[in-house]
Copies of this chain bind each other. A is one copy, B any other.
């Protein structure tokens, strides 16, 4: 590993750009880099919960070809943390565990998906053009090591649907505008709509494996490489807190911006109709804060 580039690993591109690389452990390309994000995310999660009752929670929704059956509205953190693969479907978790173990014994690795749910997100977070809420979230998720894809709501499944199948119809629920389905994944036109925000992130299999691979050396010779050392056969369970952290940081940042932009200036009759919707949002926020202060 000190002379040859690991296939699909960052050490080759780092060397191309900087002329240096961290051979042992990967340096900045190691997922250990995310420890600071997870620490900051913990603060953001607490703040979001205190201020606005937001809950950010993620789980492993697929390992290799093993999927699961989870209700995004009801699963709990306890269920996620009840097993090592962080999948709230206990049966699927066992199958995932077995799939990882099988791959590990062969010196190979496998990938999988993480699903992230943001519950009770205030309405209106985000902005309409370049910095859409889904754009900010996707950038944050795709900045995580090994991520190769992101979906918001229906994602690639949704792009195969008809408009009449895909649209989320509105209805009134205790004076509040809600949608009956949530194919939008809680975001419409760059702004949160108050439904749960749902995202799915694809993580590729770990690039460092203990099987023989063809590669080239720094000096430009074609060589064979068998990596040694301790390498995760599957990073996906460890990606769960990273995904939660990035989601919480984005939402906290958007909440601050939204508060400054939309809540500082009192709306008068001229510039805002102050519809029941706008009033409800304000009441929702106020009661959350009041409850937080009391608690």
Contacts and interface: CB of A to CB of B under 8 A. Distances in A.
Interface of A: 5, 7-20, 28-29, 33, 47, 50-51, 62, 64-65, 103, 108-113, 123-124, 128-132, 134-143, 145, 147-156, 158-172, 175, 177, 179-180, 183-185, 187-194, 202-209, 211, 213-216, 218-222, 255-262, 264-268, 271-278, 281, 289, 292-293
A160 B16 CA distance: 29
B10 A191 contact: yes
Given A148-B152, A209-B163, A260-B257, A129 B193 contact: no
A19 to B, nearest CB: 3
Given A7-B179, A275-B19, A214 B170 contact: yes
Contacts of A160: 62, 64-65, 111-112
A90 to B, nearest CB: 22
Q: Please tell me how many copies of the chain the complex holds.
A: 4
A202 to B, nearest CB: 4
A291 B89 CA distance: 55
A213 B169 contact: yes
Contact residues of A: prevailing secondary structure: mixed
A191 B16 contact: yes
Given A28-B129, A138-B139, A149-B150, A220 B276 contact: yes
B135 A139 contact: yes
Contacts of A28: 128-129
Contact of A193 (B16, B148, B162, B293): B16
A165 to B, nearest CB: 8
Contact of A177 (B143, B154, B163, B216): B216
Contact of A192 (B13, B179, B256, B292): B13
Given A154-B148, A278-B19, A128 B10 contact: yes
B183 A8 contact: yes
18 contacts: A7-B170, A13-B187, A13-B188, A13-B191, A17-B124, A19-B275, A19-B278, A50-B265, A109-B162, A112-B160, A132-B143, A135-B140, A138-B139, A139-B142, A148-B156, A163-B209, A180-B214, A260-B260
A269 to B, nearest CB: 11
Given A138-B139, A148-B159, A169-B213, 5 more contacts: A5-B177, A18-B272, A163-B206, A169-B214, A183-B204
